[in-house]
Amino acid sequence: MVSVASNLNTNQQHSIWELLRNTALVTSCLFTNIAAFILLARSHLYSENLTGQQVWIIGLTVISGVALLRCLGGFPSNTDRSRFAKYSWYLQSFTIFQIILLLSVTTRSTEPFAAVAMFALISEAFWWIQNYRNGKSTDTIITKDLSLDYDIQADLESRLLRSLEKHHVEHDRQCNDAELPDHASQFWVRTVDIHGETISASQRVQFTTAQRHQHLHLSFVPGLPSIPHVKATLLEGPDVEITVAEKQDFGIRLDLKLNHTYEEPVEVLVQIEIFAEIRQAA
């Protein structure tokens, strides 16, 4: 038996810290943005100009506060971040922009303002570059939409065939998509992705002289996360009727029936595609 196993690290984090990052810290980020907007909107009511020292204090405090929120919230390129957490990270750039505008209309201290504005620009460039690098350095980049609202039957075969082709090339140069090596009776590829687990198996089944019926049992260790969808197709050999007789998360049984009786032993090659959805937490 030739088998290949791979596991993509796509499990989302559900710790308390991740929950805080995706909820409580989002509120803090939105608060700073709204506060900056209100201050800017009321800037025409300010009767006194800010001194150079006040410009430094306000500018550096806001830039440091935004940096702290971004550190605590994590980069939006991280797949664990919620949509609102990502938006709140991006909005901090707008917060910085509003504060710079506010300082520009409330002070006549040119040098402190220019220094704070330059420091804010460098800080923003740093954070955006780090976010880009974080996304590029991720071991597994999921480009597919994570929504579970998709057609399983339509998607199953294409994903399994792509996976099968990839692993055949990497792990057994002698194999192709339609045949097994002469010395092998089985070839399994088992993969895990964000939607569930898939198994693509090629299986030789022997029929003795005059035998028409045969049972094929496949067991899964470890078990699958749910009752799988199964599709079986004849690749080589005489015509045979294939029925999925039983499906469980620990294994399946196929019933094979030849259309004719043969006076010599015959062999068929069956391709089996299996997909089990990951159970969603209640």
Q: Which of 26-40, 194-208, 229-243, 246-260 has the lowest mean pLDDT?
A: 26-40
What sections of 107-208 are H helices per DSSP?
110-136, 152-171
Angle of helix 52-73 relative to helix 24-41, nearest 10 degrees, comes to 150
Element (H, E) at 18: helix 16-22
Cβ count within 10 A of residue 109? 18
Taking the C-alpha atoms of residue 9 and residue 20, their distance in angstroms, rounded to an integer, is 22
Taking the C-alpha atoms of residue 176 and residue 252, their distance in angstroms, rounded to an integer, is 25
List the chain domain ranges: 16-136, 151-277
| Class of residue 225 by CB neighbours under 10 A (exposed 0-12, middle 13-18, buried 19+) | middle
The pLDDT tens digits for 148-202 are 444 555 566 666 666 556 555 554 554 444 456 666 788 888 999 888 899 999 9
| Class of residue 231 by CB neighbours under 10 A (exposed 0-12, middle 13-18, buried 19+) | middle
The class (CATH top level) of 151-277 is mainly beta
In terms of pTM, does the model score above 0.75? no
Is 195 within 8 Å of 148 (Cβ atoms)? Answer: yes
